[in-house]
Structure formats: structure tokens, C-alpha cells
Amino acid sequence: MAHPSCPPRGSSASGKAYIRVLGGELRGGIFRLDGQPIVIGSSTDVNLSLPDPQALGRHAGLRYHEGKWSVEDLTGNGLSVNDISTTSRALSGGEILRVGATELQFSLEEPKSGLAEPLESKPPGRQDVLMDLVVEQGDGRDQGRRIQLFSGQEVILGRASEAQLVLHDCRSSRLHCRIEGDSREVAIVDLDSLNGTHVDGRQVQRAILRPGDTILVGRTSIRCLKS
């Protein structure tokens, strides 16, 4: 007689999983995943919206495929999973994800206490993406990094860990410059950096950015692309 086999560790036959918020304003909250892709971040149009100023609008994505869950970094800077920076990783349950300053615990087991709130499936909603920023030249650890700028969001570039685009460039300042925008315009603002911020070869204190412009931060060249 054939017996039903148990799913291997890290798999879920139904796609159900749970996220418990370990800190921040949503601390103690439990959210149920039902096999649909979800996005976590500070934007109001993502599945799990965190009131965390250090989180990007679309910070991390979780995906269920062939019986297993995985997480993907959406910032271009790497996502902390169990205090290890990664671009993507399979999840087996028990992992601690850090999104901005908020810690989340991923679990395949239904929590024994607390009511799990289902996360609604939402469309990707790229309508508020203003621009893509891509590192074209600079330190090898930074080249190829890409980050999206959303309407109403600020992106800080620099060497500091709290920057949204962290650069391994000794000629960049800790908090070098800020890029911000809305439906009307996208602007870059120098944050009193030591070596200045340049757009298309011109040093600027504040400037309007357009697709095709090149930003120079220290020795790092960043291209602005239409999203």
C-alpha cells in the first residue's frame, strides 16, 4: 500500500507560511502567506507595508515555487537574512529577515498564539516608479547594482550603512547626496559632501534629473534610466 510522503524540509504542500513582526510599530503582528508572491516595504501599495523610514518602498520579495519559499532582495544593496547579506535565498522556516530596521521571522508552522492576518495579493504596481538608478562604474562590489526610485521616496547615496545605496567608494562621503521625486520632477541634492556631487560633468548643489543623466559620486558613476 502506498503511503503519502511527507514534504521535505523547507517545503509546504499548500504554500501556507507565516511572518511574525518582531519589532517596530507592527511588533507582534502575524501575517499569513497563501502561496502568492508578496512584496514587503514601506510603500502603501505593497502586500506588507511597514511604517519604517529605513525600509525602501519595495524592499524584499517572497515567492513560492515548486513547493518552496524563497526571498529576494529588491534594493540592490543586499538583504539581511540571519544577519547575512544576500541577494536571494531559499527559506526553510525560522529565518530572521531584516527590512530596514524591522526584523521579521518567517515560519512554515502555524503560530500557536495570536491571530494570523492574511496578506492580500496585489498587482506589482509599477505606476509610481519614477526612475531606475544603475551603478555603471566604480568599486567592483557596486557595479551593476540597481535601485528604483518611487514617488514620494528619498534615496540616499553614500558609504554609511543607513544609506539606501551603500557605496564602497573611499572618495564618497558617508551621506553623500539624496535623490527624491514625485510625479512632477526628480531631483538630486548634495548633502555637503567632501568631493561634491556631479551630474553630466557639472558640480551641483541641487539639480533636476532626467533619464540618461550620469551622476558622479566620488569615483562611482551612476546612470539614470527611465523605468
- Tens-digit pLDDT profile for the chain (227 aa)? 444 444 455 455 568 899 999 987 788 888 999 888 888 988 877 889 888 888 888 889 898 988 899 998 888 777 899 999 988 899 999 999 999 889 999 999 887 765 666 676 554 444 467 888 999 999 998 988 888 887 777 889 999 887 888 899 999 999 999 998 877 889 999 999 999 999 999 999 999 999 999 999 999 999 999 86
Q: Chain centroid to CA 224: how far?
A: 18
Pick from 156, 179, 172: nearest CA to 216:
172
Neighbours of 197 (CB within 10 A): 26
H/E element, 39: strand 38-41
Burial class (CB within 10 angstroms; exposed 0-12, middle 13-18, buried 19+) of 200: middle
Give φ, ψ of 26 to 5 degrees: -95, 15
Q: What is the pLDDT of residue 3?
A: 46
Give φ, ψ of 127 to 5 degrees: -65, -20
Q: 3-state DSSP helix/strand/coil percent for the chain, to nearest 5? A: 0, 45, 55
Please indicate, yes or no, whether the overall pTM of this predicted structure exceeds 0.75.
no
Residue that has been written with the C-alpha cell 504542500 in this structure:
13
